[in-house]
């Protein structure tokens, strides 16, 4: 069965510093990859997605992610974090033949002044 | 256009009571999904609708949980004889028609926070 791993439960980053959130998936097929962000008390907002083509994808709020097939990874990056980026981030993976997405357990981002 | 809406936003109930949670998807989205998010956990898939039928209800945790969708639009998730372990945030999402391609972007509502006392 497919699975998604976000190895970091919490990450603290200083405001203005760069950010990388890790996501790994396990399954043999070509994945469809998503990153969502959830602010406290809110639903999930789509940041970016990868279906095919260029493995470096740009999203909203200055985020980007890179798909590396050899590493089964889809890490999320941002060059300079803002205090408003503090939230929980979820990686999700979909596969052909499966009707829904599999989500990681999330990474909580804390931004220090 | 309007996004996915859910009601109520918060629900407090007593153990043993039944609750109904409502989801109104984005207009034109024929696929609808229910998830449960418990404290410290990721998103747990419950059920998926394509139109009014539910080809995948594998995530429903027990027969106390049921869901229906009418008119290819609004969906209701019903939990009977609620238990304290049912306390969670219930999220609904919708997408364009899903041909089991796995590549349809899901758009989420704000969720219903259920507390069972």
Query: What does pLDDT average to over chain A?
Result: 91
Which chain B residues touch A102 with a CB distance below 8 Å?
45
Nearest to A46 among B105, B109, B110 (CB): B105
Q: In sequence order, what DSSP letters do the residues of B41-80 get, joined into one string?
A: --EEEEEEEETTEEEE-TT--STTEEEEE-TTS-EEEEE-
Kindly give, in sequence order, each residue whose CB lies less than 8 Å from that of residue A70, ignoring residues fewer than 6 positions away.
none
Please check the confidence at residue B97 and state whether its pLDDT lies above 80. Answer: no
**pLDDT tier for residue B105 given thresholds of 50, 70 and 90:** confident
| Contact between residue B52 and residue B72 where contact means Cβ atoms under 8 Å apart | yes
- Inter-CA distances, B84 with A1, A81, B65, B76, B106, Å: 29, 38, 14, 20, 29
Closest CA–CA distance from residue B99 to any residue of chain A (Å): 8
Q: Specify the pLDDT at position B17.
A: 97
Pairwise CB contact (< 8 Å): A100 & B103:
no
Domain A3-112 sits in CATH 3.40.640.10: no
CATH of domain B31-94: 2.60.40.10
Dist. CA A75–CA A88, nearest whole Å: 15
**Region A28-45 average pLDDT:** 88
Task: Tell me whether B30 touches chain A (CB under 8 Å).
Answer: no
Dist. CA B17–CA A94, nearest whole Å: 35
**Per-domain residue ranges of chain A:** 3-112
Q: Burial of B3 by CB count in 10 Å (0-12 exposed, 13-18 middle, 19+ buried)?
A: middle
**Per-domain residue ranges of chain B:** 31-94
**Region A72-87 average pLDDT:** 96
Cis check for the bond before B8: say yes or no (omega within 30 of 0).
yes
């Amino acid at each position: 069965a497919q699975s998604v791993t976000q190895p970091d439960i919490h990450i603290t980053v200083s405001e203005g510093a760069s950010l990388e959130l890790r996501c790994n998936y396990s399954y043999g097929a070509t994945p469809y990859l998503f990153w969502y962000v959830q602010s406290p008390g809110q639903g999930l907002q789509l940041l970016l997605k990868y279906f095919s083509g260029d493995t470096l994808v740009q999203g909203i709020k200055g985020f980007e992610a890179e798909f590396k097939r050899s590493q089964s990874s889809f890490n999320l990056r941002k060059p300079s974090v803002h205090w408003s980026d503090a939230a929980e981030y979820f990686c999700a993976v979909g596969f052909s033949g499966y009707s829904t997405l599999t989500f990681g357990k999330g990474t909580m981002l804390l931004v220090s002044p | 256009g309007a996004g996915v809406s859910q009601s109520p936003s918060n629900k407090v109930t007593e153990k043993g009571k039944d609750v109904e949670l409502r989801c109104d998807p984005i207009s034109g989205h024929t696929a609808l999904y229910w998830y449960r998010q418990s404290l410290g956990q990721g998103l747990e898939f419950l059920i998926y609708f394509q139109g009014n039928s539910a080809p995948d209800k594998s995530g429903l945790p027990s027969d106390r949980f049921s869901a229906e969708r009418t008119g290819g639009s609004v969906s209701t998730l019903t939990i009977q004889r609620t238990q304290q372990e049912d306390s969670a945030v219930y999220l609904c999402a919708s997408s364009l028609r899903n041909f089991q391609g796995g590549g349809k972007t899901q758009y989420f509502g704000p969720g219903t926070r259920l507390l069972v006392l």
